[in-house]
Amino acid sequence: MSRKQWFLIIFAGLAGAVIAFAPLPVRVTPPAQRTLRVEANQFAYSPAVLAVNPGDTVTIELVSTDVVHGLYVDGYGVSVTADPGQTTRLTFTADRSGSFRFRCNVTCGALHTFMIGKIQVGSNILLWRALGLTILASLVAIILFPRPAKAQAA
């Protein structure tokens, strides 16, 4: 490999590390108390996508309109279950930002394992980092290995 290529690899490595790990300035919104009502029925939550700010104290009021359902929040490991017609509450501090799936943790029928919602705490920073890495990877590979078509057709 030429010197230029080594340069590019090192540069790409550094850029990749920055995209993957650099701390970002977080927009600080004063933490608030939030109560979100989520209805569960076979096999969906509504609303299915919740958004809160980092630091918020979140209370999810889970109401089931058919059978017993649960709600388990990935990444937080907290959960709650609700009998039909009854409202139960789950309160936790949203101290990790990112996008987390929540899912039913009470076997409730055929599509139970796919009964899924999402809670966004602040922005989905890991997604942005992943998208950045993808574009970087693709660009670097294109530059690193020069277009063979032109090189050969000449």
Partner 1 sequence: MRSELTRFPLVKALLKNRWPQLLVFIVMLAGFLFAILSGFIGTPVGSSNFGIVFVWIAWWAILILVAVPFFGRGWCAVCPIPLPGEWIQRGAILEPPSRKPRWLNLRWPNKLRNIWLQNLTFTLVALFSSVILTTPTVTAIVLAGMLFLAIGMSIVFERRTFCRYICPVGGFIGLYAQAAPLELRVKDKRVCATCKDKPCYNGSQVGYGCPWDVFPGGLTRNTYCGLCMECLRTCLYDNIVVNARPFAADLAKPSTRLDETFKAFIMLGAAMIYAGVLLGPWGALKLAAYSVGTTAWLGYAAAFLALIFGILPAFFTLAVKVGQRLSRASTPQHLFSKFATALVPLGLMFWVAFSLSFVLTNAAYILTALSDPFGWGWNLFGMAGIAWQPYLNALLVPLQTLVLVGGLLWTVRTAQKVGTEVRVSPIPVIVFCTLATLVMLGLLL
Q: Which does 69 bind (CB under 5 to 8 A by kind): partner 1, Cu ion, none?
A: Cu ion
Nearer to Cu ion, 69 or 122 (CB): 69
Query: Is 14 near partner 1 (CB under 8 A)?
Result: no
Given 46, 65, 86, 93, the residue binding partner 1 (CB under 8 A): 46
Task: Supply the minimum distance, in Å, between the C-beta of residue 62 and partner 1.
Answer: 15
Given 71, 90, 115, 121, the residue binding Cu ion (CB under 5 A): 115
Among residue numbers 110 through 129, which ones bind partner 1 (CB under 8 A)? 110-118, 124, 126-127, 129
Given 8, 67, 78, 133, the residue binding partner 1 (CB under 8 A): 133
- Sheet architecture: strand order including 57-64: 44-46, 33-41, 57-64, 87-93
Among residue numbers 59 through 118, which ones bind partner 1 (CB under 8 A)? 72, 74-75, 77, 98-99, 101, 103, 105, 107, 109-118
Element (H, E) at 35: strand 33-41
| Measured CA distances, 97 to 22, 85, 90, 141 (Å) | 15, 32, 18, 31
Q: Please provide the DSSP assignment of 40-88 as one string.
A: EETTEEES-EEEE-TT-EEEEEEEESSS-EEEEETTTTEEEEE-BT-EE
